[in-house]
Each structure stands twice: as structure tokens, then as C-alpha cells.
Amino acid sequence: RLNAMNCPDSSSERITRLATLKDVDALASLENQCFTSDQISRRQFRWMITRANAQLNVCIQKEELLAYVLVLFHKGTSLARLYSLAVSPLHRGSGLGQQLLQEAEHMAEAHQCVYLRLEVDPRNVSAVALYERNGFRLFGTVEDYYQDHGDALRYQKRILNTPPLISQPVPYYEQTLDFTCGPASLIMAMRALEPSLQADRTLEVQLWREATTIYMTSGHGGCSPHGLALAAHRRGFHARLMLNDSGPLFLDGVRRTDKKAVLELVHADFVAQIAKTDIDMSHAGFDTDSLVTALASGCVPLVLISSWRFNDNKAPHWVVLVAADDNFVYLHDPDVDAQLSKAPGDTQSVPVRIADFERMIYFGQSRMQAALCLSQPVAE
């Protein structure tokens, strides 16, 4: 979203400041002037000002609100998203678009974000031109993004100049069910190694059925690393399991003895099946360096993390490690959480500081660790 044009700024009376609740009426009025659909409501503006992990700046001249810029930040990551930028129709051509775009970059820099990302309507030629003049690069598209079913272009600009030293081209796949982060991550890893693989919901559910542990704390069961490794092996990939415990996973979160018995039964069956394959399995645990080393060797690591640092939800969650440098790892997160104002562009190659990632790779009171490194089988 952007409704502004670039022009030299000729006014010294304009001030830019943080928005307050007193600005909500003026913000809603400006929104109605600038956009005919996909409008931010008064309630959403209040949320952005008071509770969201965001920064909303307004440009004021003689008590008139001329423009605003809204940038979102996502917990646990070093990623910023330019969510919306609007300039009053009466003040376009005055350089406010350029000025507020630079404000957005400064916000991202102040939060030590690696990327500033955005979505823009390809029909908004002036906005696309403004972004490209300012160094934003196209990195994807999303179909049926806007309320009128129009597509969006995804742009990003690198704010911190530390490009990844190691990377794997991994196609992104978004999970379609709350409990299929494991299958979605496995699909991404398999497609990185075999691009012709057909990725769809049928495969996603099939993988879940093969890899699920049946029970978890509530609802549908999640997928164990053992089950995912077997599912990958059946499709011709080489799998290496990295664990720090040889027993069944997730037992700490299950109270009922009958559920625990099923988990133990499924785990024992998975282990027995693995013993008949060439799947490598280690119980020594791992750290970020070992995962990055696996990535550098051509493997694609799936990592079980605690999602607490992303969304305050203490749940196990599978992600894919796709790149790394001296300060950050970059993750494909299959969960696009709209409740956290996330778009698919916010979950691809997500930069996470290594120190934060080191804390994510342990789950629960037992500090369980699990990773699955996928590769092509070695030709005999």
C-alpha cells in the first residue's frame, strides 16, 4: 500500500512525530481519501498506536495531518514491514512520499532490522517507481492479495549490509492447516532438492498422516522428526536425524496415561522402521554451528523450535534453515499468522539473530532438541 508521489520537499513547517490516539479521526479520514479498498479501520489504527509491535508516524503542518507511514515489526525476528504509507491528495507532489519512505527505513534501522519489506499493487505505477528508485528489489508476487482480487508485488530492501554467506534456494510453501508445519517444512526441503516435486495440500496431508505422533497436548497430533525422516526416505531422500534424547518426544505435555501409551507405541514403531533404513540418527544434540555446517554441505535442515519467541505460544514448531551469516540465520516459517498481521513475505527468509535462534532450538522443560537434515542420496 502506498498512495504518494516523489517530489522535492519545499516545506520547513512540516513536522513528523509518533501518532497518538488523538490522530485516529484524522488518520481514518485520510485513509478514506487515499484508498477505495483495503482500508485500515479506526479500530485498527487504535491497535497500531497502542498495542501492536509497530511504529506509526504522522506528518503534520499547521495542525493538519498530511500523511502517515506505518511499519510493523515481528517478534523474534529482525524483519520490518512497510504496511502502509498515504499522502493527502492535496499534498501530493511535495516530496512527502520520499520523505516518509526514508522515515520507514530509519525505523527499520533503529530496530536493527535486516530487511524492510512491503507489498504493492502493480497497477500503482508511481509507487512501484518510487520503491525501485530507492533501492527496493522485487522478490516475489502473491496472487489475490487485495480485496478486489488483484495481485501484489513483494519488494524488499536490505537495511543492514550483511548479506548471507551461506544459502540454499528453497521454494516457499505455506502450511494450510494449523498442525502441518512439519509436512510444509518437509515439502520445502524436498522441493529444494527436487524442484519437480508437486507441492499441494494432498501431499501436505499425506505427509502428516505418515509422520504424525497421533496425540499432542490438544487437538490434532503434530509430526515427530522420526516420522518426517521416514516420509522423506520413502520418497528417495537421504535423512539425518539430530536429537538430544532417544525417547519419545512431547511426553511432558501429555497428562493422560492412555495418550502417553500411544505416543510411546508410535515412537517405538518409528524407531523400528528407521533401523531398517540408511537414515542416520544421532542423540548428541546440536547447536547453530552444526546446522549451518549441514546447510553449507548442501543439506536442507528442518529444525524444531519453540514458537514462544515468535508469538508467545509455547508450542513446538517446524521451520527450515535456508541461509546464514556471521550474525543471523534465515528461516522459512510455513505459518503465515494473519492475527499477527503477517503476510507470506514476512515468513520467507526471516532473519533471526543467532543468539535468539540458540534459545529457540530447545523446547519444553526437558530442553528437547530435534532437527532433520535432508539431502540427495549419494550415488553408488
Residue 10: predicted pLDDT: 45
Contact yes or no for 114/161 (Cβ under 8 A): no
More confident: 281 or 76? 281
Among 39, 76, 70, which Cα is nearest to 57's? 70
**Residue 337: Cβ within 10 Å count:** 15
What phi and psi, each to the nearest 5 degrees, are found at residue 36?
Answer: -95, -15
The CA distance from 164 to 326, in Å, is: 8
If you average pLDDT over every residue of the chain, what do you get? 88
The CA distance from 223 to 266, in Å, is: 11
The CA distance from 60 to 65, in Å, is: 5
Among 77, 164, 68, 154, which Cα is nearest to 117's? 154
The arithmetic mean of pLDDT across residues 12-26, rounded, is: 91
| Lookup: cell for 249 | 518426544
The arithmetic mean of pLDDT across residues 324-339, rounded, is: 88
Q: Give the amino acid at 255.
A: R
pLDDT tens for residues 220-259? Answer: 677 899 999 999 999 999 999 999 988 887 776 667 788 8
pLDDT tens for residues 142-162? Answer: 888 888 888 999 999 999 877
The CA distance from 258 to 351, in Å, is: 41
Using pLDDT thresholds of 50, 70 and 90, give the confidence band for residue 63.
Answer: confident
- Give first-to-last CA distance, the chain, whole Å: 53
**Residue 209: Cβ within 10 Å count:** 12
Residue 8: predicted pLDDT: 38
pLDDT tens for residues 268-310? Answer: 999 999 999 999 999 998 999 999 999 999 999 999 998 877 7
